[in-house]
A and B are shown apart, each in its own frame.
Chain A
């Protein structure tokens, strides 16, 4: 019994407020250094140094970029829907920040211990498409609108396989609470199972599409759409779009770490949050690595991959997870693996293979 007795609602609210404040304070710093990290890794991949002039190893570069962004002129196009144009960058960052509230960074270290954490994550994550569309609509720019329409189609297409792949995890772990999911992996990480491996791949790739990163960054395809949905944005508003993208990337890395790589679990010589951080950064590295390697998809390839390969694979994976769960031992393991491999081979051969060229009616005439 303390000296001051606080009302019960305050006692639950206050720790949440403190934790959310910490997230709000750390998120921009994290985003700034993610840009630095990404630039450095991509530079090394391309045999360059990357930023190395501002501060040691270019560590002050994000700060310099921030100052530049803040002092830039904020332009609003003449025919813009000013309210939409103003609100969009805010509405895109807020969900990206929400994502961190349910992620457990250690045993019980979570801002809001929601029972339906995974569901919350998925639901909030997909609202970014709306803010993106607001940005494009508010700009009154055809390129921006094209980008946003592409993004809407893309998010609808990739939500399906991602959620289907995610569904396997609570099916095995028996809970939507991310803390419980991590505890369910104390016997072995889910990525080490055939269904978990497939689901991790599907979630990572589909997640890349949802947060608009290469090779799925069609909404902002620089070479086709000027800048895509953020064509008409400048200064800090523009930076907010990048902040949302990088925060979502970080959150995606953290989610995959929690769901498939055992979250904070790890050998005891390092504390849980450190393990969680290492796994998240490893996954972020993989995403940057992918960005430095693969070219951007064409829109039909993008949709084809989602509907023709990833959706069947995610469905089969759900069945595979069930088989793995009901037939313990090698039988379930093999069945699950065989199912995933078979579906992958069949779908890619059936639907991804290039069609033979058919001669057009004028071929040979000229």
Chain B
């Protein structure tokens, strides 16, 4: 024995609740300041869950990776130079790259001798599979994975062959996008420097 129709009415109240909440929560959201930290995820517990992508964006997790970039020591907005670039054109990244999309040209000195600098550095963005092996293997912390996934273009044969100018980003930019990894790297380097200094002191 059960009463028919009650569950149908209960279903209607649930959907009406969602309908009304989508407006009340939306209005509250519009007039309240976004909480600090993770703004969108924190707000989307009730009401409309849609993140309207081009206008708003979900925060990207730090270890998210697309396309490698080259790092130079400097500030954002600066241009890289031979003195600030970290790459030594050792070619390890090109060797480990599974789809073989990295091509490095070694720089030459005025006399024509090869120097440990990258003269040019190409990554075919169409071929790269974002595995991050290059960044794992780089002994100079010169190549890192980026966050920028908004790479759509209308012409790909030339545009998607990234050269050294397109690939270079500053350490400041990297420290901003990857704060944890940057902190670890700095701590590691500091410990290494201390160890070396101690070793130097021990063996006069």
Contact = CB atoms under 8 A, between A and B. Distances in A.
B77 to A, nearest CB: 34
Contacts of A349: 1
A47 B18 CA distance: 7
Interface stretch (A75-83, A185-193, A289-297): A289-297
A289 B15 contact: yes
B8 interface: yes
Interface stretch (B45-53, B131-139, B180-188): B45-53
B12 interface: yes
Interface string A333-349: 00000000000110011
A70 interface: no
A45 B1 contact: no
Given A49-B50, A349-B1, A44 B8 contact: no
A211 to B, nearest CB: 19
Given A44-B23, A48-B50, A289-B12, A348 B18 contact: no
B179 interface: no
Contacts of B16: 45, 289
Contacts of B48: 44, 47-49
B11 interface: yes
Interface residues of A, number: 18
B1 A293 contact: no
Interface in B11-46: 11-12, 14-16, 18-19, 22-23
A45 B11 contact: no
Contacts of B149: none
A177 to B, nearest CB: 34
A64 interface: no
Nearest to A348: B4
A44 B12 contact: no
Interface in B101-154: none
Contact of B12 (A46, A49, A293): A293
Contacts of A352: 4
B88 to A, nearest CB: 49
Contacts of B3: 345
Nearest to B21: A47
Contacts of B23: 44
Interface string A274-303: 000000000000000110111000000000
A41 interface: yes
B45 to A, nearest CB: 11
A345 B6 CA distance: 12
Nearest to A309: B4
A289 B12 CA distance: 7
Interface string A29-65: 0000000000001001111110000000000000000
A46 B18 contact: yes
Nearest to B52: A49
Contacts of A41: 19
A292 B4 contact: no
Nearest to B11: A293
A165 B185 CA distance: 79
Contacts of B4: 344, 348, 352
A44 B11 contact: no
Contacts of B11: 293-294
A44 B1 contact: no
Interface of A: 41, 44-49, 289-290, 292-294, 344-345, 348-349, 352-353
28 contacts: A41-B19, A44-B18, A44-B22, A44-B23, A45-B16, A45-B19, A45-B22, A47-B22, A47-B48, A47-B49, A47-B50, A48-B48, A48-B49, A49-B48, A49-B50, A49-B52, A289-B12, A289-B15, A292-B15, A293-B12, A293-B14, A293-B15, A294-B8, A294-B11, A344-B4, A345-B3, A349-B1, A353-B2
Interface of B: 1-5, 8, 11-12, 14-16, 18-19, 22-23, 47-50, 52
Given A44-B22, A292-B15, A344-B4, 19 more contacts: A44-B23, A45-B16, A46-B18, A47-B18, A47-B22, A47-B48, A48-B49, A48-B50, A49-B48, A49-B52, A289-B12, A289-B15, A289-B19, A292-B19, A294-B8, A294-B11, A349-B1, A352-B4, A353-B2
